[in-house]
Homo-oligomer: A and B are copies of this chain.
């Protein structure tokens, strides 16, 4: 009953197998190998972007920080959500890689940027010229850190505002697969056709060992990215072992299948909780994350039974009264088993 995070879920068998198969003795180093060539081609095909520059790194933080550094100068502002991963969970990696750019935080329900507040922020930027940080880039996360999925129209509108103010758009697509698995839009529609400039496509949380693809839709920025990647220590000599993960991930729709399963498990949790007294799902479950309020009593039963997940509200005491509320987060993954969900619900119901 592990619902802490999808980043603790291990590797999908197809991906592990691809890694093992990627080792037929000597080949070119640093990406000059056939596995990497095929993986790049696969990304371009899946995203219908034959000109895109495609690079592989091994952590989401590296992907995001390198992408932002490529898009935003040191004196620029990165407009992002107050609880976005780039702001909250990367120990300042964007500041480090950009050379000290400023993350300008915007609010918005469900961890989504709002068009109105982005437009306001962009309009008000640098009122006294050189004294202020300048407009830099816009960063959005799909699906968001609160498990919501931007609609296509929302992305298009945000990108239009960014464009109007001459700012490129970064998409943190750590859980893009989860978003796509929910929607009826293609990968291309959800990204570059909507106006995204650089996509960080996550695989690690969705079945890979450690692999993320950075897709630069405008290849003019590619060489700078390559230099930043090397300089950041993120260029792998035996690249094929990373590339193989991405290739497998995007083959035969594996990524969407894995994400779809995770989403379905979140739905199953939500459906089950609907009927349980004391428990209430507080978000619209759009990806593989579920936020809920349960009671401290239920929490303690779940802990004893071995369930693992995170409380979300530091002002609530896990040792509170039996019926005191406790806000929790549950994350499912490609690996979550229906039986685990059902057992969780059973314990929760008491």
Contacts and interface: CB of A to CB of B under 8 A. Distances in A.
A150 to B, nearest CB: 24
Interface string A96-131: 111111110100000000000000000010011011
Interface in A38-76: 57-63, 65-66, 73-75
A102 B66 CA distance: 18
Interface string A169-213: 000000000000000000000000000000000001100011000
A161 interface: no
Nearest to A205: B237
Contact of A8 (B16, B27, B89, B204): B27
Residue from A30, A66, A100, A127 having most chain B Cβ neighbours under 10 A: A100
Interface residues on A, range: 35 or more
B100 A92 contact: yes
Interface in A70-89: 73-75, 88-89
Interface stretch (A225-233, A258-266, A281-289): A225-233
A36 to B, nearest CB: 12
A155 interface: no
A244 to B, nearest CB: 10
A283 to B, nearest CB: 20
A16 B26 contact: no
Given A210-B241, A314-B124, A92 B231 contact: yes
Interface stretch (A17-25, A137-145, A290-298, A342-350): A17-25
Contacts of A20: 16, 20
A162 to B, nearest CB: 20
Nearest to A57: B233
Contacts of A209: 19, 238, 241
B95 A100 contact: yes
A63 B237 CA distance: 14
Contacts of A88: 131-132
Contacts of A131: 30, 88-91, 230
A58 B245 CA distance: 15
A329 interface: no
Contacts of A66: 233
Contacts of A97: 233
Nearest to A32: B8
A95 B93 contact: no
B11 A23 contact: yes
A242 interface: yes
A335 interface: yes
A59 B235 contact: yes
B230 A93 contact: yes
B237 A132 contact: no
B24 A10 contact: yes
A273 to B, nearest CB: 21
Closest 9 CB pairs of A and B: A62-B233, A95-B100, A7-B237, A2-B26, A61-B233, A8-B29, A209-B241, A91-B230, A10-B23
27 contacts: A2-B26, A8-B237, A8-B238, A9-B26, A10-B24, A11-B23, A16-B19, A25-B335, A26-B308, A30-B131, A59-B234, A59-B236, A59-B237, A65-B233, A73-B227, A75-B231, A91-B231, A92-B100, A92-B101, A92-B231, A95-B100, A99-B100, A100-B100, A130-B227, A131-B230, A209-B238, A209-B241
